[in-house]
Each structure stands twice: as C-alpha cells, then as structure tokens.
Amino acid sequence: MTTAETSTDTPHIVICTTGGTITASTTPEGAVVAGDSDPATQAMLDELRAVLPEQIRVSARAVIDADSSTFGPAEWDLLVDAVADVLSDPGVSGVVVTHGTDTLEETAMALDLHHDDPRPVAITGAQRPADHPEADGPANLLDAVLLAADPVSRDLGVLVVLGRAILQARGVRKWHTTDPVAFARNSPEHPVEDLPPELERPTLPGRARFADTRVDVIACPPGADAVAVRASVDAGSRGLILEGSGSGNLPPLVADAVAQLADDRPDIVMVVSSRVPRGEATPAYGGRGGGAELANRGVLSSGYLRSGQARVLLAALLSVADQAPADDAAAAVATEIRRSWPKYHLYS
C-alpha cells in the first residue's frame, strides 16, 4: 500500500493515546495516577511537535485514557479496531500507540496478530510519570514517531519502543518494574553469537473478538493442586495457559487434572508455558507432568511465548475459528487449533 503520499518525504504519523504513565501525574501523597490526562496528553504532543523534524506530520487520536493494568480483552478489541481504522487512510504512513507498560505486551501481541499491513505500528510508554523531573516519556515518544516515519520499519509488524530498545512484538515481556529499559524479548533459540532472528509473524485468518473468548492463565507452582483448573473450567474457559516450571512441566496433581480434562473436554485447548523468563517451552520431559507426556494428551507448548502473549494467541485462534461458518463444533475447533499451533513458529 505504498502511495506517493505514504512513501516519502512528508510522513504522516497518527498517535493513538491510551493513558498510562507516559501521561500520568503524581498526587501530593506520591501515588502515580494514570487517566484523566487531557492536559498532560496535550502537553506531550506540544513538546513532541516542538522537536520533531518539520516534514513529519503528527495527529492524535484519543482511544482510551486509563492505567493499562485495567485493560483486558475488551480494550484489545478497541485498539485493534482503532489501529485498523487509522490505517484505512492511505495517507497515513505509520501509527504510534502510547500505552501503559503493565499490559503493553498483551496489546502488542493482539495488534501484531492482526497487522498484515507493511506500515509500521510502534507502541511506546514510560516508566516515569509526565511530571517526573527525568520523565522518559518524551524521548520514547520521539523515538517511536521517528521509527514509525522511517521506511526501514516497514514490514516488521508491531514494534515496542522504550528506553532506546526497539523490539518486535512477539516474545516481548516487561522485565523491569522501574528501569527505563522496561522490556526484553524472548525469541526462538539461536546461536548466542547471532542477533535474534527476524521473526516469522503469521497473522490471523480473520478478526478476533477477544471479549467473547475466555482463556485463563493458571499459575502451577510446585505442589499446586487442581482447584484453579477446575474453577477456570467452571467459569467457562475455552482455553487454559498452564504456567509450569522449567521447559514446561506441571506438578503431579495438576497433571492428573489435565489428563482427566483432556479426556472429558476435548473442546478445551490447553497450553503449557513456563515461569522461566528465557528459552522455549517444549515437550522435552517424560513422566507424570512432563512436557512430552502432556503433549501425548494433546497439550500444546507455548514455545518462546510466555503466558501473557500465549493467552492472547490462543484466545485469538479460538475466536477466529469459532466464527468460521463451516464447522462450528467446539471440539472440531479445538482440534484445528492443535493442528495449526505450529504454524505460528513458536519453536526453533
């Protein structure tokens, strides 16, 4: 979709604002409060325009105004729609989303799964509020806009830009609660001396409706029992992300519950992920609760994704498959997702 207007010298970047620390302020008691941020958002945009090369045009669109710890599937839907709507204008060269860092990794994944347009989407935020004497938001926003305006960023999908780091969305996680270098990216295994590979990033065959599809993340620490799994099933979950240990192994009582569930409810898709920050979750170990034994039961592995992004991917696949008119039996949908999971290139 390269037009004379989008390819060149006078890029037009649309900034979708959603609140977060980048426009937050500090109360007299010292609490950082995001939301209700119109004046801070205006000041941020004025400051940006004052330093931006004049050939780059920016306009802003307020989508949400809140702390991202309040976001969930409904907000992901809203943002996917907003970005698609912005990009429906061929005169737009790229999009920047300003967002709280707490749940940025889920939103980035939701956007990237739908983003089959070559134009860049850069998502940024801040660790320090707008009224902090060393606020990091202004530099992050400038970096994100410059990146979104640069043709070199085309075809890379959604990019996370914070603390001078530029990361592809898939595999990204918040890895520090306060440091301005807030995010790191796990990726498929690669030789240590190489840069992380540019990801294969297949997009969805349709539009997911996250708010309609319940997928839960269940922490499975040592000694965990089946209570949380049962509660999640009772609440109507279509999928479970089971966060285990090591390369994706579950404690014995959870493993027993999972084996039972695999027999009783073939319509529920289960994925095992890991609490370990780096590397891939793969079906490596045998024995009760081992990843290989779980795989024999049809449990998928999250690969280089960690629980938050695996949840977004599974919810997206379930939602899109549910909408396919041809075969709407829930068990058939689940079987198709188990078959298609490797297409998302989660393992090396």
Considering the complex, state which of residue 183 and residue 341 has its C-beta at the smaller distance from ligand ASP: 183
Binders of ligand ASP among residues 22 to 41 (CB under 6 A) are: 34
Does position 101 interact with ligand ASP (CB under 6 A)? The reply is yes
Q: Which of 6, 68, 93, 301 binds ligand ASP (CB under 6 A)?
A: 68
CB 158 within 8 A of CB 115: yes
User: What strands lie across the sheet with 215-219, from one edge to the other?
Assistant: 215-219, 239-244, 269-274, 300-301
Stretch that binds ligand ASP, among 96-104, 165-173, 188-196, 283-291 (CB under 6 A): 96-104
Considering the complex, state which of residue 179 and residue 327 has its C-beta at the smaller distance from ligand ASP: 179
The size of the interface with ligand ASP (CB under 6 A), counted in residues, is 11
Locus of tokens 């914070």: 162
Nearest to 19 by CA among 56, 66, 52, 63: 66
Active-site annotation holds for 282: no
Distance CA 316, CA 115 (A): 13
CB 52 within 8 A of CB 58: yes
Considering the complex, state which of residue 101 and residue 319 has its C-beta at the smaller distance from ligand ASP: 101
Considering the complex, state which of residue 160 and residue 318 has its C-beta at the smaller distance from ligand ASP: 160
Stretch that binds ligand ASP, among 97-105, 195-203, 282-290, 330-338 (CB under 6 A): 97-105
Stretch that binds ligand ASP, among 50-58, 94-102, 116-124, 140-148 (CB under 6 A): 94-102
Does position 120 interact with ligand ASP (CB under 6 A)? The reply is no
Does position 129 interact with ligand ASP (CB under 6 A)? The reply is no
Does position 106 interact with ligand ASP (CB under 6 A)? The reply is no
Does position 20 interact with ligand ASP (CB under 6 A)? The reply is yes
Q: Where does 70-128 have alpha helices with state H?
A: 73-87, 104-114
Annotated active-site residue in 21, 23, 101, 124: 21
**Smallest separation (angstroms) from ligand ASP to the CB of 224:** 28
Say how many CA atoms lie within 13 Å of 286 toward its Cβ: 0
Distance CA 100, CA 122 (A): 14
Distance CA 254, CA 267 (A): 18
Distance CA 286, CA 291 (A): 6
Does position 100 interact with ligand ASP (CB under 6 A)? The reply is yes
Listed in sequence order, the residues at least 6 apart from 162 whose beta carbon sits closer than 8 Å to its beta carbon are 101, 124, 125, 126, 127, 136, 140, 180, 181, 182, 183
Q: Where does 6-72 have alpha helices with state H?
A: 38-51
Considering the complex, state which of residue 11 and residue 180 has its C-beta at the smaller distance from ligand ASP: 180
Q: Which of 125, 137, 239, 303 binds ligand ASP (CB under 6 A)?
A: 125
Stretch that binds ligand ASP, among 63-71, 185-193, 226-234, 298-306 (CB under 6 A): 63-71
Does position 172 interact with ligand ASP (CB under 6 A)? The reply is no
Q: Which of 6, 11, 16, 21 binds ligand ASP (CB under 6 A)?
A: 21
User: Which residue's C-beta sits nearest to ligand ASP?
Assistant: 100
- The H or E element spanning position 231 is helix 227-234
**Smallest separation (angstroms) from ligand ASP to the CB of 144:** 14
Cα three-residue angle 38-40-41, rounded to 5 degrees? 65
**Smallest separation (angstroms) from ligand ASP to the CB of 20:** 4
Does position 124 interact with ligand ASP (CB under 6 A)? The reply is no
Q: Are strands 57-66 and 12-19 parallel, antiparallel or unpaired?
A: parallel
Locus of tokens 């603390």: 163
Active-site residues, by number, are 21
Per CB under 6 A, residues contacting ligand ASP are 20-21, 34, 67-69, 100-102, 125, 127
